[in-house]
């Protein structure tokens, strides 16, 4: 209950992050090369690995992954409640599992963002 | 008279969003948000494979590019784009920060956000992926 405003805020922030940044990122990484829509392959190991050395790129992916997880898991919670997961215990269970995915996923992204850069 | 707290009763029945097209579009937007989280996990795994080395990373990328996964990704990508467009629409309707005396028409705010989206996407191409 105490943390609810924080999760709602992260949900809203994640909504902006995913809306503005996800389409172009997914297009470049997953569709540009396979459908021959881009002159290079932005996801190729040498290309992406080269960009990954830059701190701004690492920060970008940390923000993108964290924002998408907090946004999507919050939405999933309410979709599951719509689907019939009702009641205090069900909601508490969803909170623990879904917020856990968002928190640990974001920490994982932070770990990979700073690994090889700061330590 | 002492105040007592009352919980808001959850009234919607399962499947309410199948009742009409507007509810269905709303729920597709919600699904698009969930798909974003799924892609967040895919990107996280991409970083894990990048750390593991070239062969692991390339195997993961090849898996993503097999036809069934690729075409599934196209469908999921459409939901992500729908999520983005409807998010820009709702910004115009909610307008938490009002810059003018009267709220701007939501279509104007939507248009501004789409232009902003194109600008941000261009910046991502150049700053994050090194340009064309």
User: Quick check: A65 and B31 CB within 8 A?
Assistant: no
Buried b (16+ CB within 10 A) or exposed e, B53-87: eeeebeebbeebeeeeeeeebeebbebbebbbbbb
Asked whether residue B57 is domain-assigned, the answer is: yes
Q: Is A114 on the interface with B (CB under 8 A)?
A: no
Domain count, chain A: 1
Asked whether residue B121 is domain-assigned, the answer is: yes
Asked whether residue B99 is domain-assigned, the answer is: yes
ipTM of the complex: 0.94
The C-alpha of A5 sits at a distance from chain B's nearest C-alpha, in angstroms, of: 16
Asked whether residue B120 is domain-assigned, the answer is: yes
Domain count, chain B: 1
Q: Indicate the burial class of A64 (C-beta count within 10 angstroms; 0-12, 13-18, 19 or more).
A: buried
Angle made by CA atoms A24, B128, A74, in degrees to the nearest 5: 55
Asked whether residue A35 is domain-assigned, the answer is: no
Q: Is B61 on the interface with A (CB under 8 A)?
A: yes
Render pLDDT for A46-89 as a digit per residue (tens, 0 to 9): 999 999 999 999 999 999 999 999 999 999 998 898 888 888 89
Asked whether residue A22 is domain-assigned, the answer is: yes
Selected residue of B38, B47, B130 to mutate for chain A interface (largest A Cβ count, 10 A): B47
- Chain B environment of A66 (Cβ under 8 Å): 40
- d(CA B75, CA B54) in angstroms, rounded, equals 28
Render pLDDT for B122-132 as a digit per residue (tens, 0 to 9): 999 999 999 87
Asked whether residue A110 is domain-assigned, the answer is: yes
- pLDDT greater at residue A96 or residue B1: A96
**Full residue range of the structural domain in which residue A47 is found:** 4-30+43-114
**Full residue range of the structural domain in which residue B111 is found:** 16-127
Q: What is the CATH number of the domain that holds A59?
A: 1.20.1300.10
- d(CA A35, CA A42) in angstroms, rounded, equals 13
Strand, coil or helix: what is A40? coil
Render pLDDT for B56-110 as a digit per residue (tens, 0 to 9): 999 999 999 999 999 999 999 999 999 999 999 988 888 666 677 788 888 998 9
Which is nearest to A53 in space by CA: B130, B42, B131, B45?
A: B130
- Chain A environment of B46 (Cβ under 8 Å): 29
Asked whether residue B80 is domain-assigned, the answer is: yes
């Amino acid at each position: 209950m105490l943390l609810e405003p924080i999760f709602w805020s992260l949900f809203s922030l994640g909504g902006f992050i995913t809306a503005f940044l996800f389409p172009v990122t997914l297009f470049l990484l997953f569709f540009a090369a396979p459908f021959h829509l881009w002159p290079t392959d932005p996801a190729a190991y040498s290309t992406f690995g080269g960009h990954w050395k830059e701190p701004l790129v690492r920060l970008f992916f940390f923000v993108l992954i964290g924002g998408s997880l907090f946004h999507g898991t919050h939405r999933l919670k309410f979709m599951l409640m719509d689907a019939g997961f009702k009641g205090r215990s069900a909601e508490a269970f969803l909170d623990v599992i879904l917020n856990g995915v968002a928190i640990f996923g974001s920490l994982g992204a932070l770990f990979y963002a700073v690994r090889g850069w700061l330590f | 008279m002492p105040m007592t707290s009352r919980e808001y009763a959850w009234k919607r029945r399962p499947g309410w969003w199948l009742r009409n097209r507007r509810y269905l579009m709303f729920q597709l937007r919600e699904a698009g948000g969930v798909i974003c989280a799924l892609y967040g996990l895919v990107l996280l795994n991409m970083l894990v494979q990048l750390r593991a080395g070239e062969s692991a990373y390339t195997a993961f990328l090849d898996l993503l590019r097999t036809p069934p996964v690729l075409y599934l990704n196209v469908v999921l990508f459409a939901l992500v784009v729908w999520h983005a467009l409807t998010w820009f629409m709702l910004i115009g309707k909610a307008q938490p920060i009002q810059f003018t005396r009267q709220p701007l028409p939501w279509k104007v705010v939507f248009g501004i956000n789409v232009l902003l989206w194109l600008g941000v996407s261009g910046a991502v191409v150049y700053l994050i992926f090194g340009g064309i």
